A and B are shown apart, each in its own frame.
Chain A
């Protein structure tokens, strides 16, 4: 250990950051706009995540839901589902929280450039995908057709109604969505997300797909995409694990021999196929 060739890093200290605004999206989800000290940009890639730190409550990995094209501030969409996220929902604009990151391997945007892009989002999976959707829309000329499909349990859980309305209005975006269970007001599709995949008109060889949703969704979406003859090579998926440290040490997010916090959360589907524990 005498020949020190590495630079030792303090990996576990958060950067205290300001919450600029909090927006209630649904009964379960809120969106937080966050500024790093002195409005430093986070310098993230679409698909990456941060560790949110609240003293007394610990840390939790949260996907960044805004595009780096809209920096310096960034956004997190958080579902209240545990001690830390419940506490986070009680915070208001002006509060501070700790941020570590960005971590992980995001979407490689160069792969998507010049191609038709299809986004497949299930439930809260729309939040991580939104970082890439917004990136795509902000640099619209770099991409060919853009299609977004989104499935949610019921109309009350629709995450970004304003953004969705904008996507519907745009001539250069195709948007479709479905709910598992309708209520009286709902006039759209009813059924799981795989039911709106067959009608898609796709130039399959030239379409790159980004998928994110709950664990149960992947197998069925991937089957439906296969039935559309989309090559596996054109599919990228974002996986959820409990990334505790974010720096490839703690072991919690390991899928076979990969650490999701290092090699993911965004994976090329052919790689995921070789990982037995992935989906």
Chain B
């Protein structure tokens, strides 16, 4: 269900040059908290709350952490307790309106995959409350050697989920009004120059690609459970769990009680956890149902391309490339998938002979 820019006939478009774009950020900041990409160190980027709009980076390849930290915090208090009184108090989640500016299409898709996770079955109020009152403003980007979202059906200009979309042009941005909230923002800002919807140029090429169409992937995954590829990946994987933590659609967690030094008060907290970490599938008595790295890698990939997909119909990888870029063992998710495709094709070939 990708809404693409050139499919939208009724959408309005304005032009903002770069200075006006920063003015727009100031305008947003006057309305509510704004979160946007900032530089972190020499060559990295993170989402952070905007304090000075000049620090906002408009063009960047990707942030280290995905947006999920704002809706599913890395560490979150579920309740506070008092051991002596043996009771607890509920934790309040107060959310104010938040605007997320400068978001790439794959990132928005990642948030929508998380929405599915926390809405389906037993809808979880912690996530869903944090997710309310969020406005997303998208921006175009130049794919690098790690992005492969196009191979998963997510174009640079996929605008689902955004209220506004900023498309880079020579000396500024074409700003598309995607929904009523976006339209209202542009109206109140009032400094945009109304333009006819420009003919969209060809999107830049993604160099990182999956060999098969994304709609074939769930079928491929029906045949590669016992592939040799899992062992090959496991030979290099160190089981650090970075890929889990940086994945915009990974949401698994652990819950622990943290007791204060007075040994009376404490908090029940949930932490991000990861299926790549060794103790993840342990039960009492130290039985571990996914002891081998190969089975943990397989589980991670199956969760992205098969298990949840069976239920939701959507792939739960969005092609951001974070797991590959930040893997300390230089393991590439696109290489894994392409190797699985080769292995599958090889075996099909042999069956024919």
Contacts and interface: CB of A to CB of B under 8 A. Distances in A.
Interface of A: 1, 6-14, 16, 55-59, 79, 81-82, 85, 96, 98, 214-215, 240-242, 244-245, 247-252, 254-257, 262, 276-277
23 contacts: A1-B132, A7-B123, A8-B128, A9-B124, A9-B125, A12-B126, A14-B88, A16-B87, A55-B257, A55-B268, A56-B259, A57-B257, A81-B285, A247-B121, A248-B121, A249-B251, A250-B254, A251-B273, A251-B275, A252-B252, A252-B273, A257-B306, A276-B225
Interface string B270-293: 000101000011111101011000
Contact of A55 (B81, B122, B308): B81
Interface string B298-312: 010011001110110
B67 to A, nearest CB: 14
Interface of B: 78-79, 81-83, 86-88, 90, 115, 117-119, 121-126, 128-129, 131-132, 134, 225, 251-257, 259, 263, 266, 268, 273, 275, 280-285, 287, 289-290, 295, 299, 302-303, 306-308, 310-311
Contacts of A245: 253, 255
Nearest to A96: B86
Contact of B88 (A55, A82, A214): A55
Contacts of A262: 121
Given A9-B125, A242-B283, A276-B225, 20 more contacts: A1-B131, A8-B128, A12-B79, A55-B88, A56-B81, A56-B266, A58-B255, A58-B257, A59-B255, A81-B284, A85-B284, A242-B282, A245-B253, A249-B121, A250-B255, A251-B273, A251-B280, A254-B281, A256-B302, A257-B307
Given A82-B284, A277-B289, A12 B268 contact: yes
Contacts of A57: 257
A262 B82 CA distance: 31
Q: Which 10 A-B pairs have the closest CB atoms?
A: A251-B252, A257-B307, A8-B125, A55-B81, A6-B123, A247-B122, A12-B78, A248-B121, A58-B257, A81-B284
B91 to A, nearest CB: 9
B10 to A, nearest CB: 20
A86 to B, nearest CB: 12
Contact residues of B: prevailing secondary structure = mixed
A55 to B, nearest CB: 4
A256 B307 contact: yes
A15 to B, nearest CB: 11
Contact of A11 (B122, B252, B283, B308): B122
Contacts, number: 127
Contact of A252 (B81, B129, B281): B281
B69 to A, nearest CB: 17
B125 A249 contact: no
Contact of B268 (A7, A58, A82, A242): A58
A130 to B, nearest CB: 19
A135 B253 CA distance: 35
B284 A241 contact: no
Contacts of A215: 283, 287
Given A55-B81, A56-B266, A277 B284 contact: no
Contacts of A247: 121-122, 124
Contacts of B121: 247-249, 262
Contacts of B310: 257
Nearest to B295: A277
Contacts of A277: 289-290, 295, 299
A85 B131 CA distance: 36
Contacts of A250: 252-255, 273
A8 B134 contact: no
Contacts of A56: 81, 83, 257, 259, 263, 266
A55 B131 CA distance: 29
A58 B86 CA distance: 13
